[in-house]
Amino acid sequence: MSEMNPPIKVQILGKEYPISCPEDQQHDLLIAARYLDEKMRQIRGTGRVIGTERIAVMAALNIAHELLQAQQQNKLLSQDLRDRFSSLHERLDAALDTD
């Protein structure tokens, strides 16, 4: 029988949330909670968004946008690397064929 880990307490906008998490992922959870708290504080600090729920939704949208941009950048970099490896492979083949 697997043992349940006690929930970790994270602080977001001054409110404490107990979150259950596998022990090997607790550090990442704390980093994610800190990042979310920073984003929410930034949004609240602008004074343009009022209410915790709206701030949370805006933070989630901003973080989702960052994720999608990073994924797109990763795809572009991956394609660039594939193109470079292909070019190098062709050049290597051509160099080996001349011998």
- Tell me which amino acid residue 64 is: A
What is each CA distance from 55 to 41, 42, 47, 66, 75, in whole angstroms? 8, 9, 10, 16, 30
| Secondary structure letter of residue 11 according to DSSP | E
* 10 vs 92 pLDDT, higher one: 10
**pLDDT tens digit string along 18-47?**
999 999 999 999 999 999 999 999 999 999
> What tokens appear for 59 in the block?
């933070």
User: Does position 2 have pLDDT exceeding 70, yes or no?
Assistant: no
The pTM of the full predicted model, rounded to 2 decimals, is 0.73
